[in-house]
Amino acid sequence: MSIEEFLSHFKNVRKTTNGWQACCPAHEDKKASLSISVKEEKILLYDHAGCSHEAILEAAGLKAKDLFLDSKPSGLKPEISAIYEYTDEKGETLFQTIRFIPKDFRQRRPNGQGGWEWNLKGVRLVPYRLPDLLKNSRICIVEGEKDADNLWKHGLPATCNPMGAGKWHVEWSKLFEGKEVVILPDLDEPGRKHAFDVGKKLFGHALHIKIIELPKKPHVKDVSDWFTQGGTKDELLKLIAEAKEWRPPGAKPPLPVLKAFTASDLEEMIFPDPKWAVPGLLPEGLTILAGRPKRGKSWMGLGLALAVASGGKALGRIDVEKGDALYLALEDNPRRLQNRLAILKDQDSKLPSRLHLVTEFLPLQMGGMQSLLIWLDKHPKTHLVVIDTLGRILPSGKGNNNQFVDDYQFIGKLQKLAIDRGIAFLIIHHIRKEGAEYALDRVAGTTGITGAADSVWVLDTGKPPASAILHVTGRDIEAQEIALKFDMGFWSIMGEAREVLISEERREILSLVSKKGPISPKEIAEFLGKSRDAIRFLLIAMKRDGQLSSLEEGVYSIPPLTPLTALIGLTPLTALTGGKL
């Protein structure tokens, strides 16, 4: 082993007159008490704190034979072992940190001619993996690029600053506004000081800050060592969940700041398109699905989750993008779920591995929310979470005089989680026994439930040929009334309710107009053998209901497609007639 390789096993190495000084790995060394020198091709160690050679070598991951240098000098020049790219928000390279063997780090910047300058003159310094940092609401901060990359490999967003401990810039604080920050320091005094410095500079900007010191284990100096020595992602997430929020000593909770923006700024903002679990029907955010007991709500929730997990068709008509789906079947057991899925699945294929099922779940305030967050961290490509039913997770309001506030705050927490993660939450609920004219007023409980939700579905009993009518309303979707068919566990869209539930007399007129094209009331009456006055009044009603449109010449035609009928692929006529013609 060469002296350079030997020194790479120690931290804070610096050259001295007689050799090198470094931190002793066998104890918590704050003063770099270990002296290293070379005499007659042998490495000599002396720890001023009294640690033995054996303890030092074991803690550094070395053996006694490593104290003897190679008889022949290698003569090798430093070799590049890793290149860490630092970019701006758009992914354009600003500079690179280069790791060498023997262990050393240097920075370089593009020279604009396809080459590099080995300095950072005039370069904007930024945290590592900046574009990824901006996309995530929870970020781990570590001391080096290797640690950050290892956390990303385990599905945990992470960053660091260039050039190691003590080099965190205060101007980066604005990049962490409203984010949950977890700082994972190296297990030495410089690492702890660095964590304190970073936390102090982020305090008042980050939503929450936690500093997690990893449990002491042999050969563990940082989070990369933690994983190498058998530490797991779940263990790390548990440490994070159990840690208390960190604040600088003596610091008071930051005062709330009103974050306003101008209308002119808003006009220039560019927002990503909303995400949909079911395009046009089930957007990201929280949706309440309410209906009477034993009317097929659970079948609908399970069918939607199966469609998302398999990348199939939702409600028999709408193509959905494949993703993970979590179904909390809190009123069912595994046997019933197995039977239902056997009915719903494509008989020629196996059930998808991306459909995840839960039958036991703690109340949210007693650990359920934390377990849900951990699961979502492990499954970042989740598109849909179904909770069946709300009553199983909603806290009891017994003796509470302000149930509206409690309901609004409880549903609001789940709604914020759904929006922050870009996931659709569908929560199955019940409706009141007494009727109400407005669909939202039929949802059981206080209006705090519907007020906090992004959208609400109310499942009503339908009239033939429809099994049910689904009333849909929400912040990001058009109000709709959809006719549905329920058959042996399968829910399928028939079309818009007002167009499916039409009389036979109207159906005859629609069929005639479709075949003949624009046609006058007189011609319709003659073809059908009906009174001209009766046909005229019926045509006026059908135009009012959107089933026909009239032209200037006094003739009638089929109207164009509506958003729903276009989405499910019906022609204007089959949409109006429920596919009966």
Is residue 383 a contact partner of residue 423, using CB atoms and an 8 Å limit? Answer: yes
pLDDT reading at 54 higher than 90: no
Retrieve residue 275's tokens. 């995400």
Q: What is the DSSP letter of 367?
A: T
Closest by CA position to 25, among listed 8, 4, 2, 3: 8
Q: What is the pLDDT of residues 346-367, one digit of tens each?
A: 888 899 999 999 999 988 877 8
Residue 372: the pLDDT is 93
Domain boundaries, the chain: 3-67, 276-498, 503-577
Q: In the structure, what pLDDT confidence band is assigned to residue 393 with cuts at 50, 70 and 90?
A: confident
Compute CA distances 351 → 128, 217, 324, 342, 525, whole Å: 40, 42, 13, 8, 55
Kindly report, residue by residue over 248-276, the tens digit of the pLDDT. 988 877 677 788 889 998 888 888 788 99
What order of strands is seen across the sheet that includes strand 158-159? 158-159, 138-141, 180-183, 208-211
- For residues 52-78, give the mean pLDDT: 76
Q: Is the pLDDT of residue 404 over 90?
A: no
Tell me the average pLDDT across 380-393: 93
Same fold, 276-498 and 503-577: no
**Maximal CA-CA distance, the chain:** 119
pLDDT over threshold 50, residue 73 = no
Q: Is the pLDDT of residue 399 over 70?
A: no
Superfamily (CATH H level) for 276-498 = P-loop containing nucleotide triphosphate hydrolases (3.40.50.300)
**Given pLDDT bands bounded at 50, 70 and 90, which one contains residue 398?**
low
User: Looking at the domain 503-577, which fold is it?
Assistant: Arc Repressor Mutant, subunit A (1.10.10)
Q: What is the DSSP letter of 327?
A: E
* pLDDT band per the 50, 70, 90 thresholds, residue 473: very high
Reported as a single tens digit per residue, the pLDDT across 293-302 is 888 999 999 9
Q: Read off the pLDDT of each residue in 101-105 and give the average, rounded to a whole number.
A: 80
Helices (H), 85-144: 130-135
pLDDT digits (tens, 9 = 90+) for 486-499: 999 999 999 888 77
How does DSSP classify residue 64?
G
Over residues 309-342, the pLDDT tens digits come to: 999 999 999 999 999 999 999 999 999 999 999 9
Determine the 3-state secondary structure of 551 from DSSP: coil
Report DSSP letters for 369-399, one per residue. HHHHHHHHHH-TTEEEEEEE-GGGTSPP-TT
CA-to-CA distance for 426 and 404, rounded, in angstroms? 20
pLDDT tens string 432-459: 766 666 777 788 888 889 899 999 999 9
Q: Which residues of 245-278 are buried (b: 16+ CB within 10 A; e: fewer)?
A: ebbeeeeeeeeeeeeeeeeeeeeeeeeeeebbbb
Measured distance CA(449)–CA(390) in Å, rounded: 10
